[in-house]
Chains A and B, each alone.
Chain A
């Protein structure tokens, strides 16, 4: 069944972003914002990768003089900051902004203007710290910016302020996107898509966003206190005046450890979607998988002290955090066992997305096991802050998030662009990445045990660390080549790739029920769901096949109940507007001004207020249209 052509045209007009430059800045379509968000985050990934390459070249030989300590410290700080705050978390949320509404059969996210605003705030924040870097004022206190090194006395100048303010930017953006996604997931699911029928990726995003809501305020408070210490002379972190240097570490890691899981849990979501499709069967143990995601989310809040075992922490507390840190391996184990069971009982289609996902089983399991080592207080005392930790964190983050993410790029590229990516180049991309990654990072385990600390700009030849460092650099070059290959593949396929069908992989979730790429309104006829695998199981005949009765000439969508997804009410979505962009510009000016003077907050809040008033100013024509849609019982 399809929509009459005229109705489809009306719907298209209603949901399209306006044309032209002004339209470009007013765009609200979650697919447009999601795509821009992914591209921006990928841009930051490449920038962070170039910084990593700089470090690897500097460390390839002892006593190299490619960069000095001052630049090196900025480079590794910006690398870590970029990868954690500007790439890994945002790219996961960006994929969710694109995919979640499609997967749950919605036409938009719940708060499209807020999403657009969050995107611009993120971009401006990221650019501000890179501009500071190119002006020679890049942050240099490490991505977790321990005080007092990052405080007013030991980091004069504005370097740490740019870092702290970048955190503010990304927090605002991350919190807003999370609120948007949680609301979308709980209230905009297709009728019939009960929580028990929700795709596992959507579950992963729901858990992630709830975690962001609880974890981010801690670092927001910490970075604000740091800014206050630096800008107006408070003494939160100054031990000489009754402050505490350790307080920073608690606040930072209370956020910082869950943050690792904001990155990892969406990766698990990608895995579940891709494995089901390429094993041609539902994931084994859906309830266990969901409970494991939720358990991981909960437990991740009880581990933060394992970053601080070398500080003066009471022994009993350390024992508790050791136990909690090891126990989080159990839910991850459950998921790994369920995926292996799925592969075991499935029929396998070895396409590129599956290859990337399978790499997870080697890389992440190894990284997870070194995580068990780090969880033990005694062992951590030896390997903490050495290259062993560098190896561990790259194994878990690249194995647990970046490999699944590349799999996800290959998997959803046809949906996003309407074209397939090249399989042959995909295989080259995969094997270079997989081999290069292990060559680059495996030797670091040994370097750490041989005493090589993190964050050193060079080392003496007598240390004996030269050969393994050179090997690691060779691996890094392979990884860089493979990422380049990916970019070439993505760009080439965008123009010349084979046209993609609606459902090229034979998948079961709803995003594959609409065209590739999807129209602005996502679904001509919003779907009704009667099973966990809607495209594999025939629709239940007693249910209506799709939602009817929504307006065509207004952005109207159906709101359903949070648990059972029973139709509840109708909601209208705002029209495109430049105000989210304008408000983001105003907010960015305020944030950047406060780096230089506390008065930035006072004067900067005026344009922000004006922009927000403009944003929410009611428009007569729009109000009338919405009133006309109201039906009285």
Chain B
């Protein structure tokens, strides 16, 4: 896993605001912890030792202890003041998070499924809409509005370096706004327990300069490359005549199902199986043959294919750049 994955290493304004509030809150909490422990240890040190036979001191039942009361009251007021301060700081951060400027924002629609992410790039012109899976490219410095939906159970969208998390709840649509100010690859992960393969439901956000983003988007809009070699052709035919096309889509071919990830440009992705495996021909073959070896319980069935057929299929998919 190369790239960043830490909540306190912000790469954009949203995560930076949260990190600021984090350090403020941690500082206040550390102060309180030290003060309480200090008082506690001094109390333990200065109090004389006793045993079970020591007569109990019952004077406090009759006599008030005004000095102690004063100290306890002061400590209570101090903690209330600190807490009110933290509430105010937290509210101010919430407000700032809401105020990310959204002019010229990129609109992305993410739909979570057990256990992968469907990513669609919206466009006013329907012919320019395209889909990918488990990876999101965003231009550096441009705000992104992600509309979040879930197809089955509740999932949670989380890229710690860019923002906190947002749940994807079936039946409702959520949104999350962020901006990446630093180019880089940021890891994301489903954060809400969603069944057998919750552990391996990852995705990446690639923040790249605008020109590179445009190039990438343009290449993604193109229909799939036609098979050019004999094995690729055989792989294509296998895909279209077998079970593959019942779940997957490849634009420019009859395969248009949306149950599994869109494979139009699958070879351009760094990883497959929602981050589980590096996208190499060996891994792809192994995944097609027995996905449950890598992600037990995954919805893709195992496939019994002759070695030649498998190689042909991998050759075809490997050419979908």
Contacts and interface: CB of A to CB of B under 8 A. Distances in A.
B217 interface: no
Nearest to A276: B56
Interface in B161-211: 163-167, 169-172, 174, 187, 189-199
A347 B57 contact: yes
20 contacts: A69-B296, A73-B196, A146-B192, A153-B152, A243-B171, A246-B169, A281-B58, A281-B60, A310-B167, A312-B169, A312-B172, A323-B87, A341-B65, A345-B68, A346-B57, A347-B57, A450-B6, A450-B7, A455-B193, A464-B1
Given A378-B164, A451-B6, A456 B198 contact: yes
A378 B16 CA distance: 11
A326 B164 contact: no
Interface string B42-75: 1110111111111111101100010011011001
B61 A531 contact: yes
Contact of B165 (A350, A376, A382, A450): A382
Interface in A321-380: 322-323, 326-327, 329-330, 333-334, 336-338, 340-341, 343-351, 358, 361-362, 365-366, 369-370, 372-373, 375-380
Interface string A281-298: 110110010000000000
Contacts of B154: 146, 148-149, 245
A68 to B, nearest CB: 6
A453 B197 CA distance: 12
A343 B195 CA distance: 49
A282 B61 contact: yes
B279 to A, nearest CB: 15
B84 to A, nearest CB: 8
A380 B53 CA distance: 49
Contact of A326 (B47, B60, B87): B87
A180 interface: no
B48 A347 contact: yes
Q: How large is the interface on B (under 10, 10 to 19, 20 to 34, 35 or more residues)?
A: 35 or more
A487 interface: no
B305 interface: no
A624 interface: no
B58 A348 contact: no
Given A154-B195, A463-B5, 12 more contacts: A148-B154, A149-B195, A326-B90, A327-B83, A337-B71, A337-B75, A348-B48, A361-B36, A372-B86, A451-B6, A456-B198, A531-B61
A536 interface: yes
Contact of A349 (B54, B69, B192, B296): B54
A513 B320 CA distance: 84
A221 interface: no
Contact of A343 (B47, B56, B71, B90): B47
Contacts of B42: 344
Contacts of B25: 372-373, 376, 379
Contacts of A246: 169, 172
A281 B56 contact: yes
B90 A379 contact: yes
Contact of B6 (A284, A310, A449): A449
A239 interface: yes
Contact of A310 (B69, B75, B165, B196): B165
A625 interface: no
A613 B273 CA distance: 61
Contact of A505 (B37, B52, B190, B197): B52
Contacts of B163: 381
A630 interface: no
B153 A154 contact: yes
B33 A326 contact: no
Given A343-B40, A383-B7, A337 B58 contact: no
A69 B37 contact: no
B232 interface: no
B216 interface: no
A337 B72 contact: yes
Interface stretch (B91-99, B242-250, B257-265, B280-288): B91-99
B2 to A, nearest CB: 8
Given A69-B297, A154-B153, A365-B37, A373 B191 contact: no
Contacts of A345: 47, 60, 65, 68
Contact of B37 (A153, A284, A361, A386): A361
Given A378-B93, A456-B199, A384 B164 contact: yes
B83 A284 contact: no
B21 to A, nearest CB: 6
Interface string B10-54: 000001011001100110010011001101101110111111111
A399 interface: no
A625 B241 CA distance: 88
B199 A459 contact: yes
B145 interface: no
Contact of A455 (B6, B86, B198): B198
> Which of B57, B174, B197 has the most C-beta atoms of chain A within 10 angstroms of its own C-beta?
B57
Contacts of B46: 344
B165 A285 contact: no
